[in-house]
A and B are shown apart, each in its own frame.
Chain A
Amino acid sequence: MFRQNGSFAKTMEVLNAIFVLPFVDMFTEPVFFAEVVVGGLLTGVMYSLVALGFVLIFKASGVFNFAQGAMVLFAALTLVGLMEKGVPVWLALIIAAGVMVIVAVVIEKLVLRPLVNQPDIILFMATIGITFFLEGFGETVWGSDIHRLDVGIPDATFEIGGMLLNEFDIWAAAIGAAMVAFLALFFRYTVIGRALRAVADDHQAALSVGIPLKTIWIVVWSVAGFVGLVAGIMWGTKSGVQFSLSLIALKALPVLILGGFTSIPGAIVGGLIIGVGEKVAEIYWGPLIGGAIENWFAYMLALAFLLFRPQGLFGEKIIERV
């Protein structure tokens, strides 16, 4: 196969660089590797937070809510706008949460109810409409500058066992984990949680046992709004509250494909895998092709998943009976 020695040596070198050297690096410098992984995990939690908002709405109404990213932006803008007007943090948080409830009520009344029983694609298109509205409305009210957000979460860097860690990242991960645990328990063990799952499964059957679809939708969209608010605070503190916050919705897509659209644990695990995967790929394989793997690695991973396990890690297996 390799007629010339030079070509053979080159091939070996490439294979070596792809399949051997990165792992050698990982083992020879375990502390650095750990730092990369932990950094990835912490970013992953933030992805999970965004993905969680999608999963909630998808579970309860079967709608892929394209507007989740815009809700993150809108919530963060509202919060930062209020704080810049001199409203104390705690009050601004409560008001912003209240605004998200109002958004949920309005969406239910003006968008979901008139479109009930329409095909999913129609509802999906409607959420694209909501996206543009929220983005435009948010900017009209609060302006399009980049806002600095500081809700008082400590942001110092410290060292554990040679690893550099950021206190804020730890907080973000802890808050994210707490929210996930709370929501998972809420869905599993409460009457409302059961009603939510029922609505998700079958609208008509849910109606026939007298579950109020309207209330359930408002609850779900509100909760998705709260989750958006938390995600907005985390991302906003990291990178400033600006229009691009709306685009992290796109980062949640591969997370959802990995985790499955209907699974809360899936959103978490998917987020962590994407977070770690892209950091590790960037550091160890990135230099081979000149870097910037981080931006597209997640989508490649999602694509591979779509080919081999389209329902995601935790999604319900799609079985069509013929």
Chain B
Amino acid sequence: MISTAQELHPTPVLEPGRTILELRGLEKRYPGTHALKPVDLAFKSGEIHAIVGENGAGKSTLIKLLTGVMPRTSGEIAWEGQPAALATPHEAMALGINAVHQEVVLCRHLTVAANMFLGEENSRFGILQQRAMVRQAQTIIDDLGFDLPAHVTLGDLTIGQQQLIAAARATVRGTKFLIFDEPTAYLTRKEADQLFTLIRRLKDEGVTIIYISHRMEEVFELADRVSVLRDGTLVGTRNIAETNDAELVKMMINRSIEQVYHKEHFTPGAAIIEARSLSGKGFENVSMTVRAGEIVGLYGLIGAGRSEFVTTLYGRHRKSAGQILWEGKEVQVNSEHDAIKLGMALAPESRRDQGLCLNLPVGFNLNLPIYKRISNNLLISSTQEKTQADRQIADLRIKTPTRGALASSLSGGNQQKIVIGKWLAHGAKLFIFDEPTVGVDVGTKAEIYRLFGALLSKGAGIILISSYLPEVYELADTLHVFRRGKLVATHGFHAASHEDILTQALAEKQEKLGGQI
């Protein structure tokens, strides 16, 4: 899992790039929190500068200050030597500062071309030159090496493809300073490679890149320098050649990396669920068993059929052939309701869209699956509602002022703990986690993995879906590899190498992999 990026990608010679943006004592206070303690940092033109840190370490705050989304409390920002107010997003863009966010913020109903030129449309006598714009957009996209059509509706593309468009969009606007916030969270490896090519090219053109990621190997693959934030403090900045991920993780969390993938082995018990030659929309002829006390990992690219398979188990989609056996008996799962009644729980992939009621309180979200249990036929027991929520918050160590705080006010990692935690009180037997640690920092990851252990010790079984190979590799007792809707390989714990598993998942173009995962 430890990357060897230094050998594979010789660290680019740092150009004697001039300082383009300098922060002097930059500071941000919210009522009650000191989100960013005075930071001094200088960014050079033509460098890729990674910023790492746990959720809540101050990365988002820093980005918001740099892009003019929020005003700073104190400190100075100098742009090309001149003091800059950076009070509005407009001012930041006028200087050439742009950001590509983790969640795509574009218009899904418009075409790719319309999105690329949004706000800077090409028009003649007030009439949009649509064909010309599609042509220009297509030229840009082809030029960047993305194999995507410019005339289709953005929403028809995958999230990963949309992310590439968002990146392409930022490059055509005279950008001098470009911030990527977790850009690869939803990308396949191939898409990520395309994005990296784009990023390196921008660097060669002298653009400063800020790259924020939780994935250490990406940081080592791309960055020239890396800065670490912890609890709003800049812990340090390193040249990438002079550090390693053990040091960075230590700086980030004050904890060693071995403690992250916390794996407990239990003797598997009876089968909880079994799929026999199950087929449905997006996958066919898949057979597997999940037993009590084991983690079954599903690995594959996005669109390989993993998510479709589990949503069919969960009753979201109808199976077209095959059988589902629950504790040895054949069952029909026609709805999520049926699945939950049997004892399944699903923590979905996208916590914003599927996992949380963001504008409702934390306690409400935690209790949602169990309201039936904590109410009699008519009324909810407010004592139980209170104690259940408080117990979950304490057990899961959710950082929230009270159970009444809105879910939207919590950091991503803590939101994810709610998505997972709400099923603990429910007492399910089979837990399905679909990409449980996307956009979650190392410390929270470790806590989530520890939760897995707690569930297994209580006799539950877990299906873990992940596009992040180290995660399934280190945690799964049985690892199934999906490719194009089929289950192509099955391995025991650590029974195959990363390379073999990747090859099985891709089975085509291997030259781009370059030993990186």
Are A and B physically bound partners?
no
Show the binding face of B for A, using Cβ within 8 Å: none
